[in-house]
Each structure stands twice: as structure tokens, then as C-alpha cells.
Amino acid sequence: MSSDIELALHYDGASSGSFYADDINDAHEHLPPANDPADSQFGARTRKIWHDYLSQFGVNSAILTVTAGNAQRHAFLIGFDHVRGMKNETENLLALVDAVLARSGEQPVHHFQFSRTDLAPSAAQASDLSGQFDWGISIRMKHGCDVIRALFFRREDEGRFTERDAMSLQLVAPILAESATRIAQLARQSRRSAMLEAMFDRVSMSMALLSADGQPLFMNSAASALLAERRWLIRGADGSIVPANSSQAKGMREAIRRAATAHFPVEEVFRLDCRDGDWRLAYVVSAKSRAGGDVARCAMVIVMGPGKVDAPSSLLEALGLLPSEQRFLGYFLKSSSLGNAAEGCGLSEETARTYLKRVRAKLGVHRQMELAGLISGLVLPLRQGDAPSIGDRRDV
């Protein structure tokens, strides 16, 4: 069932394109690395638990690869913390592993010994395997729809792996594979959550996901800033999100509860009044996971900000306006006065009137109110600073 082979391994032709420089990699999802400290601590604890467990079999380090039924491959490194976060070193290490696995073939168990004299110096420097270990064992097996391939390493003074060691590691490998797959899933979820947070933080509309009792589950940056202003929304004594105007609190609380618990879509609109007379519109709508189920239901509260007429230059370029026309339109929309726009642009009032006619003709509108409404409706609801506005242009 097993065979002894002595490996003289080189990096020439070895490929590790399926792996990233992290413990776990999804070969088909190009997601940025997760930076959540909690995820890092969880991964470190898991690696330590497995390292301590495998030490009873005389295993100093291990590398496990799991190829799922959908051809995605993950790698789990135990005892190689010195290459964590080092992309090139990890890829070189995994290239060497691929070479070992290629030599191992399709047999379930292979014993091997690193040939230090034949090992390429560049490979030895990159992987450190030849300097740390002498004996190894390769295990290959099917577990459900997954293909598990694992390498376990031992130092020279601990001797080669026995047949009993091989049998024990064959029993352990599926459990280790399930642990590695679970960490891969958690890492993907963490990266996706980070990307979603970054996406929602770019939106200028205040967006919050609330539980049935109004407790915040998620808030984008705009919602956090709105809450900090304490003009339209505040935190109640119990931590829930409520309108700053106490007379509006009950109705919105009830709407949030309905949206988070009803078995049919809920959409309600509230006017949030501020003491200074300013107001905002708040939409309360149902939200649920694609997977369905009552557990994943919540209420989404969207607070609309004032309409934006300060359009980015890229938008008006796409509409066919020249730079000089863009700058004039910026002054005109801000001042609502042809004379002020002419003065701001350094134009005569007659020339400014000509500009206004050209802009209206290009955009297909005939009244100032229509012009402002058109621009406001076309501007993406992004936070300020994401794109240069037409008022920033200096070329008339």
C-alpha cells in the first residue's frame, strides 16, 4: 500500500497558481485578504490546536490541500507561521509541495525523504523544508466529493513514519480537512463582509439594518454620522435607534417591528423633523437573506439626504457638455441666478445666457427647475470627495 521514495526536488516547472499567501485560499474567488483581528486569532488558535494534536504522532509541520467537488482548492498550513503574510515564500513552499505530490502519484500513502544534497539551493532557501525536516509522508484520499492530499513532516532524529503512524494520520486527515474547509468559508465570509461594508460606506444615503426591537445590526458611515448629529435619529436608553422627535418615535418603532417580522414585504415612509425646521425622509423596508428563513429577517432604514446638484465632471462629460459649459452649469445651479453664474465664470450676462441655452438644448430641458431636477436625479448618491465636482473645474 505504501512506497518509499527519495525526492530531489527543484522549483523548475513547479506551479502554485491555485494558492495565495494565506492559510486558506479559494482559487476562483479573487478576494482581498481579511484583516479582521478576530479571524486572525481564530485561525492562529486553530493552527495551534492542530499542531499540538499532531505532535503526538511526531508531526512537526503539515500542509493539507482540499480540492472540493467544484474544483476549488484550499491549503491549510500548520507549523509554518514564519511565512504567514509572505506571498512569495508561501507560493514557493506550495510549489515544492506540488512537486512532492506529483512524485507521490495516486497511491494513498507514500513515505519520502528529502535529499538535501540534490535539493536546489534556491528551493531550500525559499521553503526551508530541507533544513527543518528529513522525513515525510504523503496521504491522498477521497472524502465525500472532496479530494484530500496531506503532507506531514518529521525531523531526522524522530525517524521515519511507521505504518501505524500512517493509519492514524489517515483517520485524522478528514477531520483536519473539515476544519480547514470551515476556516476557508469563514475567511471568505469575512472578506465579503469587509467588501460590502466598504461599498455601503461609499453611499451618501444613511443605511442601517435593525432588528425587530430597533437594535442596530449594521450601519454605514453615513448612518453613523447622521446618528452622531442627533438631529433626526438618536439612540434610545436601550440602545435602539429612534427618531429624535419623540412624537415620531412610536410610529417608526412599530414600522421597524413590522418590517423585521412580517411575512410579506413592508415599505413605509416617515418624515423626520428637526428642531431647526429641517427635515429628512426615512424609508423603512423589509430585508431578508437570500437563503430565506425568519432568523435572517431584519428592517432596513434608509434616510434620504438633500438632493445633490453638484455633479461630477465625468457625468457631464458623458452628457456631452464641454468643460466651459460644465463650469457655468455648476455656478448656475448653486446660485440659481444667471447674473451670479456669469459673474462667477467671468462672463457677460449675454454670453451666460447663450451658455444656458446650449446646456438646456444638450440636456433636453427648458426650465431651470427641470434642469436642477435632472442633475439631482443623475448624480450617484456617493459621499463627498469620491469624485471631482463641476464646481472644481477651472478651464472655461
Cα separation, 186 vs 24, whole angstroms: 10
Residues 96 and 186 both lie in one domain: yes
pLDDT band per the 50, 70, 90 thresholds, residue 388: very low
Residues 210 and 189 both lie in one domain: no
Residue 348 has φ and ψ, to the nearest 5°, of -75, 160
Please report the pLDDT score of residue 207 as a whole number.
92
Task: Please give the mean pLDDT across all residues of the chain.
Answer: 77
Count other C-beta atoms under 10 Å from residue 355's C-beta.
Answer: 24
Q: Which three cell numbers stand for residue 234?
A: 438618536
Q: Which three cell numbers stand for residue 365?
A: 430641458
Beta-strand ranges (E) seen in 72-186 are: 73-78, 109-114, 135-143, 146-154
Please report the pLDDT score of residue 294 as a whole number.
57
Note down the domain range covering 367.
313-392
Residues 9 and 140 both lie in one domain: yes
Domains identified in the chain, total number: 3
Chosen domain end from 248, 275, 304: 304
Q: Which three cell numbers stand for residue 152?
A: 506531514
Across 362-380, average pLDDT: 73
Residues 138 and 29 both lie in one domain: yes
Residues 175 and 317 both lie in one domain: no
Residues 292 and 178 both lie in one domain: no
Q: Which three cell numbers stand for residue 195?
A: 467588501
Q: Residue 351: helix, strand or coil by DSSP?
A: helix
Residue pair 85/136 in contact (Cβ under 8 Å)? The answer is: no
pLDDT band per the 50, 70, 90 thresholds, residue 17: very low
CATH number for the domain spanning 354: value is 1.10.10
Using one digit for the tens of pLDDT, what is the confidence trace for 123-174? 444 445 555 778 889 999 888 878 888 899 888 888 889 999 999 999 999 9
Please report the pLDDT score of residue 38 as a whole number.
57
Using one digit for the tens of pLDDT, what is the confidence trace for 194-245? 888 888 888 888 999 999 999 999 999 999 999 999 999 999 999 999 999 9
Cα separation, 29 vs 33, whole angstroms: 11
Task: Quote the pTM value.
Answer: 0.56
CATH number for the domain spanning 49: value is 3.30.450
Of 220, 219, 210, 296, nearest to 256 by C-alpha is 210
Please report the pLDDT score of residue 15 as a whole number.
33
Residues 74 and 220 both lie in one domain: no
Instruction: Give the highest mean pLDDT range of 72-86, 175-189, 271-285.
Output: 271-285
Residues 145 and 292 both lie in one domain: no
Chosen domain end from 264, 286, 304: 304
Q: Which residue has the cell 453611499?
A: 203
The DSSP line for 109-120 is EEEEEE-TTTS-
Residues 296 and 322 both lie in one domain: no
Cα separation, 207 vs 198, whole angstroms: 13
Residues 32 and 138 both lie in one domain: yes
Which amino acid belongs to residue 74?
Answer: H
